[in-house]
Amino acid sequence: MPSFSLAALTALELSPPELVEVAAACGFEHVGFRLLAATPGGLAYPLMDDAKQLRETRSRLDATGIRVADLEVVAFRPETDVESLTAFLEAGRMLGAQHTLVAAYDPDLSRFSDRFARYCELAASFGLTADLEFMQWTHVPDLNTAVAIVERTSSAAAGILVDALHFDRSRGSLEHLHRISSSRLHYWQMCDGPAERPSTTEELIHAAREERMFPGEGGIDLVGLTKAMPPDITISIEIPTAELAKTMNAEARARRALHGAKAVIAAAGIIS
């Protein structure tokens, strides 16, 4: 049976301790934290640099029984030094995290592949996986590219992160997904979106980072995607809704998201 994680981006206004409390109140089993910003200057909570908040977060996790599914965002750029990520990974080990999300912002895919392989080995030494997320505006824009890079990596920590929105927008193939070894699929991200795909990169980015839809309320084939994924891995519910957040608090949004996700997996024939 799958378990559910409240992704950081669903309620990025909450600090990690606050996010744990909301996850517990809503019935999630896991939570995800954004320790590194997705973009320069973006919002993040660098617990590796804040010992007090790291201890508080660990305390909330212990008190609620919530576990950490993943940490974000390891954004590889041309200047990224793999060793500089050691403190981030150490924080992950202290939090009991399982996975780390990787994004490719390096146009030199050969260089990125080499660094990704080194990062996988480093992450594994801390008990964490390294999961490459494909996004159309990055240099790993689709499932095919992600698979090619991960398959070059011998480390068992190397994985492919399937995000429902990016899978749909990049016209991913369910048939191809079925052929990927389950050992490379550690967790995946669920959300929904309009059936009509954005026509520009700017619209793609805006929708992905700020305005997604709750599972079952859009036009993405989430039932088909759910059936194609391993049934027993964590589903991270990642649904930023910047406009709705002006009038609906984080707990209410998280509850709505989880309710929709459970309805999707039930429709797929999986009972949670």
Mean model confidence pLDDT for the chain: 96
pLDDT at 234 over 90: yes
**What percent of the chain clears pLDDT 90, i.e. is strictly above it?**
96
Read off the pLDDT of each residue in 219-245 and give the average, rounded to a whole number. Answer: 97
pLDDT of residue 259: 98
pLDDT of residue 227: 96
How would you class 233 by CB atoms within 10 Å of its CB: exposed for 0-12, middle for 13-18, buried for 19 or more?
A: middle
Sign of dihedral through CA atoms 55, 61, 67, 71?
negative
Give the bridge partners for 76, in sequence order.
Answer: 104
Read off the pLDDT of each residue in 252-270 and give the average, rounded to a whole number. Answer: 96
The amino acid present at 65, given as its one-letter code, is: G
104-156 pLDDT per residue, tens: 999 999 999 999 999 999 999 999 999 999 999 999 999 999 999 999 999 99
How far is it between the farthest Cα atoms of the chain? 47
Read off the pLDDT of each residue in 166-177 and give the average, rounded to a whole number. Answer: 95
Q: Model confidence at 240, in pLDDT bands (50, 70, 90)?
A: very high
pLDDT of residue 1: 80
pLDDT of residue 124: 98
Backbone angles phi, psi at 151, to 5 degrees: -70, -20
Backbone angles phi, psi at 221, to 5 degrees: -80, 75
CATH architecture of 4-267: Alpha-Beta Barrel (3.20)
Read off the pLDDT of each residue in 51-71 and give the average, rounded to a whole number. Answer: 98
Read off the pLDDT of each residue in 206-227 and give the average, rounded to a whole number. Answer: 96
pLDDT at 163 over 80: yes
pLDDT at 263 over 80: yes
- pTM of the entire predicted model: 0.95
pLDDT at 246 over 80: yes
79-97 pLDDT per residue, tens: 999 999 999 999 999 999 9
Q: Model confidence at 270, in pLDDT bands (50, 70, 90)?
A: confident
pLDDT of residue 188: 98
pLDDT at 18 over 90: yes
Q: Model confidence at 272, in pLDDT bands (50, 70, 90)?
A: low
Asked if 113 and 152 count as a contact pair (C-beta separation under 8 A), the reply is yes
* For the chain, domain boundaries: 4-267
Cα 140 to Cα 103, 115, 146, 148, 180, distances in angstroms: 8, 14, 6, 10, 17
191-210 pLDDT per residue, tens: 999 999 998 999 999 999 99
Q: Model confidence at 11, in pLDDT bands (50, 70, 90)?
A: very high
Spell out a b/e string for 25-47, using b for 16 or more CB atoms within 10 Å of the CB, else e: ebebbbbbbbbbebeeeeebbeb
